[in-house]
Structure 1
Amino acid sequence: MRDHADRTPRLLPWTTPEGNPCFLLPSDGTGYVSRLADRLEAEQLGSAAVLIEDAERVLADRSWTPGELHLLTVELKNSLVTTHRVAESRGARLPVPAYEPYEDPDDDPEDYPEDAPDDGPRRP
C-alpha cells in the first residue's frame, strides 16, 4: 500500500512567489518540511471552520452591508481554495484501492447528457 504513496510527490500547502505549486519529494513523512506542511494544513482547516461559523452568524443576522457580504464572499472563496488544495494533496497520497470501485447498475450515463443545463444548487 505504501508503494503508491512513496512514489507520489506531496503537494504542499503553499505556492512559489509566482503562484506555482510546490511539491515535496516522497519520504517517510517525518521530516521538517512534512511536519511544517502538516501544521500549516491543520491551521488552514481550523481557519476554515472558524470562517464557517462567522458566515453562519453574519448570514443569520440578516443585517449585513454589501461590503460585509463582499468581504465574507472573498474570505470564503480563499478558504475554499485552501481546503481544496489540502484535499487534493491528501487524496493524491491515498493508496490505490485493490478492488474495483462500486458502480450502480441502475446509474446510466445516458441519463445525464453533457449539454444538460446546470442550474446550480437549489434552495430547500
Structure 2
Amino acid sequence: MNAQSPDTARLLPWTGTGGKPCYVVGNGSGHVSRTADKVEAVQLGMALELLDHADDLLEDDRSTEVQLRHVAAALTHSLRDVHRIARSRGLRLGMPDGCDEGGHPAGGGPVRLRP
C-alpha cells in the first residue's frame, strides 16, 4: 500500500464487538496496518481456494445438499470478507462519485471513480 497521511483511518479486515467495524488511524506503516495487510492476503487466498472447491462441488453430480449448503455458507462468509477488503481499499483510494459514506452506490445509480 502507498503511504497515507498520518490521520487517515483505515477499515480493518476484521470486526469488533457486535460485528462493528474496526479502524486504525495512521500512515499505513504501523504494526496494525502490516497485520491487516497479512490478514487481507490470507482472506483473499482462502476465498480463491473456496471458489475452486465450490466449482468442484457444483460439477460433481454426487454432491449432497448438506455439502452444497455448507459451501454456500462458507462462500457467504468469504464474500463478506472480500467486500470489507474492497471497501477498505476503495476508501483509501478516494470515495467514488455516486457512493454514500459507507461506499455503497447511492440512489441505485452508476458509480464513477474520481480521476
Aligned to 1:53: 52
Report SS of the residue matched to 2:18.
coil
Tell me the equivalent position of 1:65.
64
Number of residue pairs the alignment of both structures matches? 96
> Is 2:33 the partner of 1:34?
yes
Please say which structure displays the higher CA radius of gyration. 1
**1:14 match:** 14
Pick which of 70-79 and 15-24 moved more: 15-24
| Structure 2: runs of 5+ lacking an equivalent | 98-107, 109-115
User: Given the two structures, how large is their TM-score scaled by the length of structure 1?
Assistant: 0.70
AA at the equivalent of 1:58: L
1:83 aligns to what? 82
Q: TM-score w.r.t. structure 2 length?
A: 0.75
> Which stretches of structure 1, 4 residues or longer, exceed 2 Å deviation after superposition?
5-8
Deviation of 1:12 (Å): 0.3
CA separation in 2, counterparts of 1:63 and 1:85? 34
- Tell me the alpha carbon deviations over residues 18-66 of structure 1, each in whole angstroms, 9 at most, x when there is no partner: 2111001131x22100100000000000000000000111111121111
Identity %: 43
RMSD of aligned alpha carbons: 2.4
Change (3 A) 1:96 1:68: closer
Which is strand-richer, 1 or 2? Answer: 2
Distance in structure 2 (CA, Å) of the matches to 1:90 and 1:64 = 36
**Greater RCO (CA < 8 Å, at least 6 residues apart):** 1
